[in-house]
Structure 1
Amino acid sequence: MSTRITIDPVTRIEGHLRVDCEISGGTVTDAWASGQMWRGIEVILKGRDPREAWLFTQRICGVCTTVHAIASVRAVENALNLEIPLNAQYIRNMLIAAHAIQDHIVHFYHLSALDWVDVTSALKGDPKKAAALGQGLSSWHLNSVQELAKAQEKLKVFVASGQLGIFANGYWGHPAMKLSPEVNLLACTHYLQALEVQRRANMIISILGSKTPHIQNLAVGGVANPINTDSPSTLSVERLLYVKSLIDEVGDFVNNVYLPDVCAIGAFYSDWTGYGAGIKNYLSVPEFPIDTKGTVFELPGGYLPNAALGQFKPITGFHDKYFAEGVNESIKHAWYQGDWDRHPWQEETEPHYTDFQDRGKYSWVKAPTFRGAPAQVGPLANVLALYAAGHAPTKKHAEKALSTVSSLAGSRVGLDALHSTIGRHAARAIRAAVLHETLEKQWTLLVQNIGKDTATFNRPEFPKGEIRGVGMHEAPRGVLSHWVVIEDGKIKNYQAVVPSTWNASPRNSKDQPGPYEASLRGTPVAQADKPLEVLRTVHSFDPCLACAIHLVDKEHPEAITVTAREVPE
């Protein structure tokens, strides 16, 4: 006898995601991932000036703001075949790296760690033993008995008040939770410390991008940051040196807390290397261009069919036809008018809602494919591509992480373990360490270049007739691409194929499941009314459904009215 469970909404993510599972014999036998909102940005952009599209696309999501801005300006620049000054590339690259590191830290500690860490168990932990454990993993200066005891007191105050606040709604005491009280205490302490560290990463974005979320410094053709090494009102030496101090602080946490924590939890939950693999076609794109044309990159990208490292196919640059011609989207099981499978440049965005239909339409998310097959995107795909390409920093951090896990687990854990729920977390932490090295390098390249060159912008010119472009970006959650058709200097069509569209995909035109759906099959569930294991696998992808979909209300279009009035002094 099978049981049907529905988790709606899945929390600790961005956006509205519904997950349905059929469970038989304590194991998931089938699954459906459903985006519960509609994204209408594509319709809003029609007829607008392509130079302002990035300001709108940032509003697709309140978390993934920088990434949509970057992909949007790249799409228009790609259509124009426009070169970008080196300084602008370096500044953009620093924004991208800082944003991704901040995002990865927040995801592990504040969105998904509580799937593995029992907060109430931490109250029983011995701060001395927990400190010894932490000091055995790294030299992090806040792994002291005093810091752990202080964090434990904060947790006790939460519990004593009867309001767990940020730790509410966890499945505390669940049989799938198996960390010791000391490990739980160490993880909870780092959870609290990570709140400050992610803020430091965000400060880098604020300094370079003028604000965050929703940076203000981009432009089609470069960035709006004026460079003057002496002026305090521009990007000066003083500001760059402060940025460097923030980079160092964030790197200390990534290398001495984040990566060791993931390794420790991975070792304690080594059985989870056997769950959650799902789709093993991995897609990533090159990132951090270090030339003006988008042909030379700091981090390579490409396609790995069926996890075969030896069959890695590089995607060489922003004008690579292999990528540009390989993406399609199907609406067979999505709430849009019709049943087609098209390239983004030929797509239409016409919503058509029906009820949730297991074998029919059941999601606002479309179903992307690459070269006719579903693909998993994200840090795991990115790390495997970098590894296959022989990227030295990635190999260094990956091998160090796997060695640490093997030592803690008491048995050898190889690269194949990454094809799993817990492996996605490991890949994200490895990527964060790689990104920190990249961020340091981009800072150095910028400082070296501004001594001889202060250009940050090339003016775009739009021709008559129709042109097309694609802006690709390896965002924190994976491959992001914006597709634009421009006619006589105005946007004719615009489509965004985002990471959570790839991963939260419903069945495609061939009825093949998307990555979430495929990864859930075979997952053990100890208690159907408390499906912690399902949440573990879904959260490992770091869902951002606001990016895959957006909201429109035809019956009540006016959500709020704001009236301005004079206030007497």
Structure 2
Amino acid sequence: MAKIVIDPITRIEGHLRIEAEVNNGKVSDAWSSSTMFRGIEKILKTRDPRDAWFFTQRFCGVCTTVHSIASIRAVENALNIKIPANAELIRNIIIGIQNVQDHVIHFYHLHALDWVDITSGLKADPAKTAALAASISDWPLNSATYFRGVQEKLKAFVAKGRLGPFANAYWGHPAYRLPPEANLMATAHYLEALEWQKDVIKIHAILGSKNPHPQTFLVGGMAIAIDPDSQNALNADKLMEIKRLLAKAREFVEKVYIPDLLAVASFYKEWAGIGGGVGNFLSYGDFPQPGSGQLWMPSGAIMGKDLSKVIPVSHEKVTEYVDHSWYEYSGGAGKGLHPWEGESEHKYSGPKPPFKNLDTDGKYSWVKAPRYEDQPMEVGPLARLLVAYASGHKEVKGAVDGVLHKLGVGPEALFSTLGRTAARGIDCLLIAQETPKWLDQLIDNIGKGDYKVHNNEKWDPATWPAEAAGYGWHEAPRGALGHWIKIKDQKILNYQAVVPSTWNASPRDAKGLRGPYEAALVGTPLADPNKPLEILRTIHSFDPCLACAVHVFDASGNEMVKVNVL
């Protein structure tokens, strides 16, 4: 029995370590460990609740809007503040383009190299690459001349011996399946996506003054003024620029991302049976529809992969355990706390770095173990689409069925690494198609003379109750995000955030139940234990995001080989 340690996992956000036992060429057990402590919740105590969003943005440098939205919604929920329709629509547009940009970046720059062998593209015939690209899309750059130019750039890059972001990967690994032409096509689109995302995210600069971390969020609405006669406000010129950028975002998703996703997936259909995970899925739902009280993307939970039943979600059923986390609860071990009562008292009891292995029988992660009705839950685009699909969401059902038909697989294929990757693409497509509709609604409201973007009725803390508690939910690109707040005497008494990667990267709980990463890795085949590409495929399908090295150990814990990995 060999033990593999990957620390840190690369191309993710933050610091993640995976330890896995391997028997007969497959992962037989796995442990997920976050190796960095985050303490912003402690920093927030005694501060003005209206300022919380500005601090919580800094939970992450990748999810640049999500904690702002969840935090503001938590305060609005606690104080029963209703926001104007225009503010809701502006938030939807900001959230929408964040999701679209994030999903495209994930596919090409964080996950694609698990499936695409960049250097194989050097062997490709540019004319055949152009024919392949033209067979799946009418994207205007599908020409032999264009792909030949990309190939020449790649040759020059490799010849210099400085591969930059493409260095240290497992090029030539036996688990790669794409022909050279498909690899060249994907490499070209990798480079295109870098330029594309720089442009479309300008929407955040228009509506939020900057990116990352837009500055115009506000409890009660938004802080961006609407005035057709002012160059310093949201006017007709800026609205038309947003419309142009949304059209550009949608075109790339429809004509590049989705065709590439289907082309790559068609070579890896066996991954529709790998990486299933815990089988329970949670979505908070999102994109409020002004005036209707409904969410465009519905909330719900699915247990045991049963798509015949969507369970309504209640925030009261969320708890967090720390039996295998480097925290201590005042009530002792074996107890799960609701986030309103949550504690973040850390007590590191692990080995001192550098170390070989964690104490996986004891505490081994800075991530807590969130549970819904005491069950581990997967969150993310797959959970979001499964809940919507099972709820009868028309657009979701049509898109999911269409992709499954093109791949020649059934709905059961969704419960897998491949299904998780496909779900992110479908989610991106649907949001890219829906976001322009929210812009049209905003333009229509403005045309009718409605410029209101903020409700200031409860802006004065003197109007607040002595004590209040609230929660804010958001479907971030990576999944169900919740912020919980307690307010006393106009100050924050307690604050807890349960983020998507807390759900997915969860260690064992008090009952010994694995978290989603851990469960998804069990049964994963490894062609070469010294180059555990397959582990990266499944972990990246959840979209955690950073970079560093891999360590591989034998059964007795001795280092066998040490390799850098992209």
Structure 2 length-normalised TM: 0.92
**TM-superposition CA deviations, 1:407-445 (whole Å, max 9, x none):** xxxxxx112111111111100000001101221111111
The correspondence of residues 152-191 of structure 1 with structure 2, limited to 5 A, is: 152-191=151-190
Larger mean Cα displacement after TM superposition, 6-15 or 149-158: 149-158
Report the counterpart of residue 91 of structure 2 in structure 1.
92
| Number of residue pairs the alignment of both structures matches | 531
Report the CA distance between 1:451 and its aligned residue: 2.0
1:189: Cα distance to partner? 0.7
Deviations 1:355-383 (A, max 9, x none): 13111100000000011100000000011
Whole-angstrom distance in 2 between the partners of 1:169 and 1:430: 31
The residue number in structure 2 matching 1:37 is 36
Paired residues for 1:482-501 under 5 Å: 482-501=483-502
Cα distance in 2, alignment partners of residues 205 and 70 from structure 1: 14
Q: Does 1:441 align with 2:442?
A: no
The answer to whether 1:349 aligns with 2:349 is no
Q: Deviations over 1:325-358 (max 9, x none)?
A: 1110000000002423110001111010011311
Q: Are the counterparts in 2 of residues 298 and 438 from structure 1 also a CA contact under 8 Å?
A: no
Residues 370-449 of structure 1 aligned to structure 2 (within 5 Å): 370-406=372-408, 413-449=409-445
- Secondary structure at the aligned position of 1:65 is classed as coil
1:449-483 Cα distance to aligned partner (Å, 9 max, x none)? 11231000112344242111000000000000000
- Paired residue secondary structure (2:447): coil
- Which position in structure 2 is the counterpart of 1:126? 125
SS at structure 1 position matched to 2:544:
coil
1:82-481 alignment to 2 at 5 Å?
82-291=81-290, 295-314=293-312, 322-338=313-329, 339=333, 340-355=335-350, 356-406=358-408, 413-452=409-448, 453-459=450-456, 460-461=458-459, 462=461, 463-481=464-482
User: How many Å separate the matches in 2 of 1:229 and 1:486?
Assistant: 38
Are the aligned partners of 1:115 and 1:170 in contact in 2 as well (CA < 8 Å)? no
Cα offset for 1:544?
A: 5.3
Check conservation: 1:70, 1:473, Cα contact below 8 A. Answer: yes
Deviates more, 1:362-371 or 1:295-304: 295-304
CA contact (8 A) 1:76 1:469 kept: yes
Aligned counterpart, 2:48 = 49
Change (3 A) 1:395 1:261: same
Query: Do 1:131 and 1:145's aligned partners in 2 also have CA atoms closer than 8 Å?
Result: yes
Query: Structure 1 counterpart of 2:344, which letter?
Result: T
- Equivalents in 1 of 2:137, 2:155: separation in Å? 26
Amino acid aligned to 2:36: M
Give the TM-score taking structure 1 as reference length.
Answer: 0.92
* Residue 505 (structure 1) aligns with: 506
What's the secondary structure of 1:31's corresponding residue? Answer: strand
Using the aligned pairs only, state the percent identity: 53
Superposition deviation, residue 523 in structure 1: 0.2
In structure 2, how many angstroms separate the alpha carbons of the residues matched to 1:349 and 1:442?
A: 39
- Contact 1:333 1:361 (8 Å CA) reproduced: yes
- Contact 2:507–2:515 under 8 Å retained in 1: yes
Distance across 2 between alignment mates of 1:133 and 1:395: 28
Structure 2: distance between partners of 1:545 and 1:520: 20
Q: How far is 1:545 from its partner?
A: 9.0
Any conservation in 2 of the 1:99–1:201 contact (CA below 8 Å)?
A: no
State the match for 1:549 in structure 2.
none
CA offset digits 1:118-154 (Å, max 9, x no partner): 0110000011111111111111111221221111111
Partner residue in 2 for 1:551? none
Match of 2:14 in 1: 15
* Contact 1:221–1:457 under 8 Å retained in 2: yes
Q: C-alpha separation between the residues in 2 aligned to 1:458 and 1:476? A: 28
- Displacement after TM superposition at 1:253 (Å): 0.7
Q: Which amino acid aligns with 1:302?
A: G
Structure 1 moving runs of 4+ over 4 Å? none
Contact in 1 for aligned 2:504/2:515 (Cα 8 Å) = yes
Residue 516, structure 1, aligned to residue 506, structure 2? no
- Secondary structure at the aligned position of 2:494 is classed as strand
Q: Distance in 2 between matches of 1:499 and 1:295?
A: 25
**Partner SS state of residue 106, structure 1:** helix
Q: Which runs of 5+ in 1 are unaligned?
A: 315-321, 407-412, 547-569
- Structure 1 distance, partners of 2:465, 2:232, is 39
Query: For the residues of structure 1 that align with 2:314 and 2:163, how far apart are their CA atoms?
Result: 47
Give the Å deviation of 1:225: 0.8
RMSD: 1.3
Distance 1:426 1:166 in 2: 24
Cα distance in 2 between the residues matched to 1:260 and 1:418: 18
Distance in 1 (alpha carbons) for counterparts of 2:290 and 2:21: 50
Q: 1:458 corresponds to which letter in structure 2?
A: N
3-state SS, counterpart of residue 5 of structure 2: strand
Q: For 1:342, what is the secondary structure of its paired residue?
A: coil
Aligned with 1:306: secondary structure?
Answer: coil
CA distance in 1, matches of 2:184, 2:397: 31
State the alpha-carbon separation in 1 of the partners of residues 80 and 176 from structure 2. Answer: 53
Residue 396 of structure 1 aligns to which amino acid in structure 2? G
1:86-105 Cα deviation digits (max 9, x unpaired)? 00000000000000110000
Partner secondary structure for residue 543 of structure 1: coil
